[in-house]
Amino acid sequence: MRAVDVAGTAFRNAFRSRLRTTLTVVAIFIGAFTLSLTNGLGTGINRYIDDTVASVGVDDVLTVTKTDDSVPTEGPAEYDPDQIAADGPPGTTTTALTEDDLETVADVSGVLSVEPVKEVVTDYVRYDGGDRYQLGVAQFLPGMRTELAAGRQIDLDAPEPELVLPEGHVEPLGLGTPADAVGKTVELAVTDGTGEQVTTEATVVGVAEPGVLAMAGAIPNDVLTQTLYDLQSEGAPESRTSRYASASVTFDAAAGAEAQQALVDRLVDAGYTASTLEDQLGTITSVIDGIVLVLNGFAVIALVAAGIGIVNTLFMAVQERTREVGLMKAMGLSSARVFSLFSVEAVVIGLVGSAFGVVAAIGVGRLVGGVSANLLPDLPGLTLVAFDPVSVAVVVLGVMVIAFLAGTLPALRAARQDPISSLRYE
C-alpha cells in the first residue's frame, strides 16, 4: 500500500464513527481556537507597541543619568544642592549632570555623541490672541516619529521654529480641523529667571494623534527648543542653566548587543546609569507576554484533554476493526503500514479540528478588531487581535503533533495484533 493510499484510507476511516470523531474534533477545535486567539491577542498588542515605539525613543540612543548611591532605602534623603527635579512621582529628584559630566560621558569609548536633555516648561500656548491653554513640551530625537492626524513629521534641523501639536489642542485653540491647523502660527510663553513671562512664536507643521505610547505634549524642533530654553534661562544663575537631569547618548546600534552592553558597563563604571528603550518598555511587553502565556496554558489543557479523546477514539476504532486489521496483515500489509494507517487517522482528526479552530479564531479576531476600533478611538492604528502566518502554522502543526502522539498507543496496539487471532475475533 502506497503512502497516498494510506493517507486516503486513514481519512475515510477517521470518520467511520461520525459522532465519536466529531466530538473529538470539537475538543481539538476548542483548544486550537483558544490558542490561536490568545496568540493573536499578544501579536496584536505587541505589534501596536512596536509600531508606536518610535514615538518614545530610538534604538541607538541611551538615556544617561548620574548614579546616586547616597539615596537611603528607608526614610527621607538628606538635601543635596546638586540634585534637581526629575520625571516621576512628586518629589522625585536626580543628581544633576554638569558640563564636566557631559565631557566625561563623551570620552567613554563607544559614545558617538552626547546631548543634554534641556527641560522646557511652557506657561501656555494660544493662537491669534485667543484663549490660553497649558501645553507640555516633549523631547524628540533623530529617528523618532509619531502618529499624525495631519501634516508631517517634525524636522529637527529646520532653520525656523516649528512644532507638532497634540490633536486635543487643535479645537480649543480655534485652529479648526487638524488639516486646517497645519501652517498656522501659535504663541508660546515661558517664565524667565527673573519671573517675567516672555513669548515666542512657532509654526504648526503637524498634528499628533493620541496613543498609549505617544509623546506627551508638543514636539518642537531644535531651534524652538533652544529658543524656549534660552528665554527660560534668561536672568537665571549660571549654576541653574548648566545642570541637566539627563543626557541622550548616541552609539552604534549596528555593533550588536554585546557592544551595547559593554558600553553600558563602561558608563556604569564611570558613575552613570544608562537605559535603552528596550529597558524602558521591557516591563510592558513582559506583562503582555505573561498574560498571553497564562491564557495559552488553558488552551494547552484543552488540547491535552482532546488528546485523551483521540486515544479513546482510536482505541475503540482498533477494537471495532480487529478482524479488518487481521485481514490486512494476512494479505501482507506490514505492521509499519498498519501503524501508519492509525497514526495518520489521528493526524487527520488533529488537522481537521485545528484548521476549523484557526479559521474560527481568525473570524472572531477580525470581528473583535472592528469592535475595538470603535470602543478604543484614542488608540488609532490598534489591531487588538492580529494573526501572524507563522504563529498560525505553528498552532496547526503543534496540534497535529499532539494528535500523532496521542494516536501512538492505539496504533502500536493495532500494529502488534496477531493476524490469526484477529481473524478469529468476534
Q: Which of 16-30, 41-55, 119-133, 226-240 has the highest mean pLDDT?
A: 119-133
Percentage above 70 pLDDT, the chain: 78
More confident residue, 304 or 373: 304
User: CA–CA separation, 245 vs 383, rounded Å?
Assistant: 36
* pLDDT of 351 strictly over 70: yes
pLDDT of the residue at 292:
74
pLDDT of the residue at 180:
94
More confident residue, 232 or 76: 232
More confident residue, 44 or 364: 364
pLDDT of the residue at 280:
61
Instruction: Give 86's pLDDT tier (boundaries 50, 70, 90).
Output: very low
- What are 115's three cell numbers? 546631548
pLDDT of the residue at 380:
60
pLDDT of the residue at 184:
94
pLDDT tens per residue, range 231-248: 988 888 776 677 888 888
Q: Tell me the domain boundaries of the chain.
A: 3-53+282-423, 60-277
pLDDT of the residue at 426:
54
pLDDT tens per residue, range 277-297: 666 666 666 777 777 777 778
pLDDT of the residue at 413:
79
* pLDDT of 72 strictly over 90: no
Percentage above 90 pLDDT, the chain: 19
pLDDT of the residue at 214:
47
Mean pLDDT of 130-147: 80
**Is there a contact between 184 and 204 (Cβ–Cβ < 8 Å)?**
yes
pLDDT of the residue at 387:
85
- Cα–chain-centroid distance for residue 32? 23
pLDDT tens per residue, range 249-274: 888 888 888 888 899 899 999 888 88
* pLDDT of 87 strictly over 50: no
- Identify the weakest region by mean pLDDT among 24-33, 36-45, 97-106, 227-236: 36-45
More confident residue, 368 or 422: 368
Mean pLDDT of 104-121: 88
* pLDDT of 133 strictly over 90: yes
pLDDT tens per residue, range 168-201: 899 999 999 999 999 999 999 999 888 899 999 9
pLDDT of the residue at 285:
67
* pLDDT of 146 strictly over 60: yes
- Identify the weakest region by mean pLDDT among 44-58, 146-160, 362-376: 44-58
- What are 260's three cell numbers? 551595547
Q: Is the pTM of this model over 0.75?
A: no
pLDDT tens per residue, range 315-341: 777 777 777 777 777 777 778 877 887
